[in-house]
Each structure stands twice: as C-alpha cells, then as structure tokens.
C-alpha cells in the first residue's frame, strides 16, 4: 500500500484501533518504535508490541493474532500499475473522425494531412517504445537490487512533527536511526549529509535558548547539539589508543594488522605530540589542556597521513553535566545489546534490553551496551587481521570470498546477521586498502560464518563493491535465490535483508559454483 499522506492515510486510521506493532531487530526500527510508542501514549492508543527477527517470526506472529487483525488496505485490483493507454491518450480515432468531416479538399491538402498524420503516429510509437523501455529499466532496477531509503525513525519523527507532538526525545531517536544507517553503510554519504541537514534545523528549533534567567536549562535536562566530531568509535568512553586501533576507518588506513601499520600509528601519535601515557588512559582522564584542542590536532595530523575525512557531521546528547553520548555511541551500544551472544536470555529479552537502553531513565543499560560494543569492535578488528594475514580472502572470479571456520576465536559474535554484515563491510574496506590488485579492489565480497553446528548451517552475506561512487545497491539477494534454485541448495531466506541467507554447510560448494557461473 502506497501512503501519500502519512497523517491521514496512516495515523488517523490506526488512531481509533488497537494496534499490532511488529518491530524488526535493527536500531533504526527500534528508534521508530520508540517514537510511535510516545505518540500512542499521547493519544491513548492501545497497542501490542511484537519483536520479529525475520520473515518466519513475522508469519508466525501474524497467524497468532490474525483473528484480531483488520486489514486496512485496498483490493489488489485498485493497486494495479496503469497501462500505457490509460496514461497517454491515443488521438488516432479523433484524427480519423476529423478526416471524415472534410468536405472534398484538394488532393495536395489531403496528401499534406496524411504526411502529418504519419509523422505524428511515428512520434507516438517512438514515445511508447521509450516509455516501455524506461518502465522495464525501473522495474528491473527495483526487483534486481536492494537499497535503503529514508530512515524509518526519521519518517516517524516527521509524522510527530506534522501532529505538533514532536519532543526532544523523539528528535534524538530520529538522529540515532539515521546514524545507524550511516554506521552500517546502508546509505550514501550524500544522503546522510542531506538528512543531517534536515535534522539540524529541528535541533536548532528544539534546543535554542536565549541567554536570560527565564530560559536557562535545568541541570538534569536533555540537550542535543550538532557538531563536527572525530570519526573514532566510542573514543569518549574508551582510550584514544584503543579507539584508533578498533575503528574501521583508521585501522584500514593505517593497515594496523601489519608491523608497518603499527609503526605508522606511532608516527601519527608522535606527529600530534601526544604522550603514550595520555593516549592509553581513559579519555575522560586525559589532561584538560590536551583535550581542548584534540579534535583540531587529530584532524591536522590525519590530513598528513591521507585521512581527509577524519571529522564528520554528527550530533551529541547531554543528560545533565555528567553524561554525554555521540549518536554513533548509542548505535554501537544498542546493536551490541540486541545481538549479544550472552546465554542469559532469549532474543526477546535482548530486544527489550536494547529498546530500554534508548530511554534516558536506563543509562545503566546503555553503559552496559557500550562495554559489549568495545568487545565487539575488538573482536571485529582481530578477525579482520587474522583473515588478511592468513590470506583467507580469495578471489573467486566475479567476487571475493571469505569463510570463518568453526573454532575461530570470537566466531560466535558473528553468527548474527547485523554483526556479520558489519564485519564483512569492514573486512572489504581493509582488503581494498591492503591489496595491490586493481581488479580485486572493484569486486564485491561474499562471506560465510558458522550459524549452528547442531543443524550444520552457515550464515552467508553478500556485500557490494567498495568504491567512492558506490550507490549502496546490493544485487546479491536475487543472485543467491537463483544460485540456490539451480542447484537445489537448502537455503533459508529468512532475514529482512535479502543479501543475508542461511545455508546448509553441505551445499556450500555447489552453491558457490552456481553463484560464480551466474555472476561471470
């Protein structure tokens, strides 16, 4: 169902109903859910929240509640794509009638009119061919590739703004939802900057205060600010050294998996004039004199070492004077809570923990998520170093391939789709920085990791090529389907991200052979 007016065709329709809310297991979906929950609370809308991690859970949950569900969509007949004749009026009959009304004109006039009609008919046929060709291209592009649009949390915030019910908390959730898309490389840099500009105007509107006693902020209030900050993961809650070593951008540029890369990192720190004792202790404990100009110092030295994008547009939030978080900090923490390999709870428990961590009343859960995120980032860089040093990334012709074996350290951390996708993207960036083969720099990556030893299954993910002009369109969803069909491989396309599948380990060889021949 296509919704053109989100307020009238969606919210006002469900406002008077009891709502069944399915929420996917990703940070953007959680943020959209938090905004909807706040709106429902404002309007006293009853709802049931059901977390779903894939198509199977969605179908099962739907069947459980189907007796209570009222479908609010039109019949399929009303949703058909209009035909060419319905869009472009064919004037052939009108011209024939106008020709019959002529009163015996001269032969030369008839010949001229006939020539004009032939030219017009030719032009109409050409327009029709062009329209049909363009339609085929659009449909092929839509069905062949997978890509992401505007953040769901941003869409929900726009709804809240239209309803004049937008709050600072809702704005922060929209920011986190957008940042999740950027952290996971789902959107282009241009799209990210454009959406940041939209949210920046809302931040100015919500957080603008005049410098007088009547408008001063209380000590424990929430303040959101826009800033150009460092492209370093969790650096304000970690040591600067650990953040530099475990951020994908810096680790790939320095090539920290090699001895030469470690030397370059030492040279980088020396160029900034930062003592190792200061760099290796917690950021909060560093000398204030060093922290004051730290961003400018790092950016200046980063430019010398070929890292031109060391600072990025982002947002931060303050809870009083003590607690400050960047949007990317919250993304990493929430993602780690949701995909935690800890056995002390079910997937639903992890979902609820992640959802709760987005509320300012549960900062203890957010800090716990930050600790889990540090472990995840360390494991990611260690796994990347292992893959590159042991040459596990191999060229299969039309794509690169890497497989994590059972027993690999921390392999359990990468059995979940989002964690494996992020590892694959970071591995591809690092491989592109390390290889001298120009052709391999332009290849996509297919990566596999053990999912269940008991069931003999692996998770397979496909990542598009890493290029500056990349439009983030992923073609692996359809390719995986066709490769599995042609070889009768036992595959489960359960995840909402079509480029992630579950595959029987026994069928992996024939599946890859089919994929190679399909993409060659």
pLDDT in tens, 365-399: 999 999 999 999 999 999 999 999 998 999 888 99
Distance in angstroms (rounded) separating the CA atoms of residues 80 and 78: 6
Q: What is the reported pLDDT for 97?
A: 47
Rounded Cα distance between 154 and 160, Å, is: 10
Helix segments in 273-416, DSSP class H: 276-279, 288-292, 294-304, 327-338, 347-357, 363-389
Q: Which residues pair with 401 in a beta bridge?
A: 394, 446
- The conformation of residue 402, written as its DSSP 8-state character, comes to E
DSSP conformational letter for 342: -
Instruction: Report yes or no: 25 and 56 within 8 Å, Cβ to Cβ.
Output: no
The dihedral region occupied by 8, where left means phi > 0, alpha psi between -120 and 50, and beta the remainder, is alpha
Dihedral sign for Cα 23, 28, 32, 34, please: positive
CATH class of domain segment(s) 391-519: alpha beta
Q: How far is C-alpha 86 from the chain's CA centre?
A: 37
Length of the chain: 520
In angstroms, rounded to a whole number, what is the distance separating the alpha carbons of residues 266 and 95?
81
Give all strands (DSSP E) within 197-239, no chain letters: 222-230
Query: Within 13 A of 93's CA, how many CA atoms are on the CB side?
Result: 2
Low-confidence ranges of the chain (pLDDT < 50): 71-82, 84, 87, 89-102, 211-213, 219
Q: Which of 246, 262, 384 lies closest to 254 in space, CA to CA?
A: 262
d(C-alpha 433, C-alpha 442), whole Å = 12
Place of tokens 């030295």: 301
- Report the C-alpha dihedral over residues 302, 306, 311, 312, rounded to 10 degrees: -170
**488 DSSP assignment:** T
In this predicted structure, what is the pLDDT of residue 78? 39
C-alpha to C-alpha distances, 115 to 90, 94, 109, 110, 121, nearest whole angstrom: 18, 16, 10, 9, 10
Helix, strand, or coil (residue 282): strand
CB count, 10 Å around CB of 508?
15
pLDDT on residue 238: 92
Spatial neighbors of 389 by CB under 8 A, at least 6 apart, are 257
In whole angstroms, what is the distance from residue 306 CA to residue 302 CA? 6
The C-alpha torsion from 381 through 387 and 389 to 393, rounded to 10°, is -130
CA–CA separation, 108 and 397 (whole Å) = 66
Does pTM surpass 0.85?
no
First to last CA, the chain: 37
Alpha carbons within 13 A on the beta-carbon side of 229: 18
CA distances from 516 to 61, 67, 476, 488 (A): 37, 46, 12, 16
Give residue 343's pLDDT: 63
d(CA 68, CA 80): 28
- Tokens of residue 286, six digits: 């560093």
């Amino acid at each position: 169902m296509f919704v053109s007016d989100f307020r009238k065709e969606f919210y006002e329709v469900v406002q008077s109903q009891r709502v069944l809310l399915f929420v996917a297991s990703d940070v953007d979906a959680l943020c959209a859910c938090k905004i909807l929950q706040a709106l429902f609370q404002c309007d006293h809308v009853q709802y049931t929240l059901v977390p779903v991690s894939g198509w199977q859970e969605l179908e099962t949950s739907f069947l459980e509640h189907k007796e209570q569900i009222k479908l609010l969509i039109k019949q399929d007949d009303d949703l058909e794509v209009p035909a060419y004749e319905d869009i472009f009026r064919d004037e052939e009959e009108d011209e024939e009638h106008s020709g019959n009304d002529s009163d015996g004109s001269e032969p030369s006039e008839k010949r001229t009119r006939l020539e004009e009609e032939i030219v017009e008919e030719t032009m109409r046929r050409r327009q029709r061919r062009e329209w049909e060709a363009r339609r085929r291209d659009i449909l092929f592009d839509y069905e062949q590739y997978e890509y992401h649009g505007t953040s769901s949390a941003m869409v929900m915030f726009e709804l809240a703004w239209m309803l004049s019910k937008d709050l600072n908390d809702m704005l922060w959730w929209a920011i986190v939802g957008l940042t999740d898309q950027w952290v996971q490389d789902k959107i282009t840099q241009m799209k990210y900057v454009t959406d940041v500009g939209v949210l920046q105007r809302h931040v100015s509107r919500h957080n603008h205060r005049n410098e007088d006693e009547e408008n001063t902020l209380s000590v424990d209030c929430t303040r959101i600010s826009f800033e150009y900050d460092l492209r370093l993961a969790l650096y304000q809650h970690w040591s600067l050294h650990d953040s530099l070593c475990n951020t994908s951008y810096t680790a790939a540029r320095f090539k920290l998996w090699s001895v030469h890369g470690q030397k370059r990192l030492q040279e980088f720190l020396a160029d900034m004039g930062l003592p190792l004792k200061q760099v290796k202790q917690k950021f909060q404990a560093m000398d204030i004199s060093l922290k004051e100009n730290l961003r400018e110092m790092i950016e200046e030295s980063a430019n010398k070492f070929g890292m031109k994008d060391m600072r990025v547009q982002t947002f931060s939030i303050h809870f009083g004077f003590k607690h400050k978080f960047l949007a990317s900090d919250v993304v990493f923490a929430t993602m780690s809570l949701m995909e935690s390999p800890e056995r002390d709870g079910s997937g639903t428990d992890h979902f609820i923990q992640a959802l709760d961590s987005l509320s300012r009343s549960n900062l203890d859960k957010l800090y716990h998520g930050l600790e889990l995120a540090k472990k995840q980032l360390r494991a990611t860089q260690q796994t990347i170093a292992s893959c590159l040093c042991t040459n596990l990334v191999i060229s299969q012709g039309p794509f690169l391939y890497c497989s994590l074996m059972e027993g690999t350290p921390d392999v359990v951390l990468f059995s979940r789709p989002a964690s494996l996708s992020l590892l694959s993207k970071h591995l591809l960036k690092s491989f592109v920085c390390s290889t001298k083969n120009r052709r391999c720099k332009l290849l996509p990556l297919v990566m596999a990791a053990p999912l269940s030893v008991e069931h003999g299954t692996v998770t397979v993910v496909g990542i598009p090529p890493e290029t500056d002009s990349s439009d983030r369109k992923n073609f692996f969803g359809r390719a995986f389907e066709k490769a599995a069909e042609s070889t009768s491989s036992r595959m489960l396309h359960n995840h909402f991200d079509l480029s992630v599948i579950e595959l029987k380990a026994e069928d992996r060889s024939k599946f890859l052979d089919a994929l190679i021949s399909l993409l060659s």
